[in-house]
Amino acid sequence: MRRKTQIIITALILGIAAFGFLIWSANRGITSPMFRHPEANAYEALLFAQKQLSDSRLDPTSPDLAQSVTNNAEALRLTRAALEKPFEAPEVAYDAKRIDGVIGGIGGFKSLALAIKCEGVLAETEGDYASAARSYVDIIRLGESIQAGPLIFMLVGVSIERIGVEALTEIEPNLTGETRSQIAATLRQLYETRLPFEEIELRERYFRRRASPTPIHYLIFSRHVRASMEKAKQKHTLAWQSLDALA
């Protein structure tokens, strides 16, 4: 009788496990609510803006700085228009087999940041610190915007944001009056609306979920990236604190 009971219990456990695996497998392809409005996404708009960079001389110390800024004027306009839209990493960014192609695209967003920095440096050389500050704020906006995605998006975004924060910190003593107040208010707003790290963790879990054929794979995957997630959280916190201090 005891043996029969053990067999029944074992069979139930195996049945529940098998059912759980079926549910896990069936739900792997479910689209997240994050992707409901791709037509309103700044991601594609920024990719398009990047392709409009007609001058690759993105060195702020270049003697042809003014010409480079002029050549990239349309790309800069498109970038700023894109920043008025909400940003969300595309669903393909959560596909482990296709994410490499996406990484190349977001890596190119740094070119947009450097083009904006060239614009700011040019304004500095002309003594227009107010315009330079607005350019550097736009770099910060770009960096913050593209962090809405799996972990790699946050890391690229933080690195771009740092470019803007460092440039703005250098000219901060030259900002006075109404310009100073406006820049401070904008930075405070960016600080308050920044995507919390918990939201980034949510997106990263979704990525691991899509990449894991079974719950066991998911647990192993999660354990493997635990140290990386902790380092990323520290970078996110540091960027948040730096922006707060600057504001």
pLDDT single digits (tens) 67-110: 999 999 999 999 999 999 989 888 888 888 888 888 888 888 99
Check pLDDT > 50 for residue 23. Answer: no
Which of 114, 99, 164 has its CA nearest to residue 136? 164
Q: What is the DSSP string of 126-149?
A: TT-HHHHHHHHHHHHHHHHHTTSS
Check pLDDT > 80 for residue 26. Answer: no
Task: Quote the pLDDT of residue 64.
Answer: 86
Query: What region does 90 belong to: left with phi over 0, alpha with psi -120 to 50, or beta?
Result: beta
Other Cβ atoms closer than 10 A to 16: 10
| Torsion sign across C-alpha atoms 197, 198, 199, 203 | positive
Determine the distance from the C-alpha atom of residue 172 to the mean position of all C-alpha atoms in its chain, rounded to a whole number.
Answer: 26
Higher confidence at residue 216 or residue 158? 158
For residues 75 and 46, what is the distance between their CA atoms, to the nearest angstrom?
9
pLDDT digits (tens, 9 = 90+) for 168-227: 999 999 999 999 999 999 999 999 999 999 988 888 888 888 777 777 777 777 787 788
Task: Quote the pLDDT of residue 120.
Answer: 95
Whose tokens are 């930075």? That residue is 187
Whose tokens are 């959280």? That residue is 233
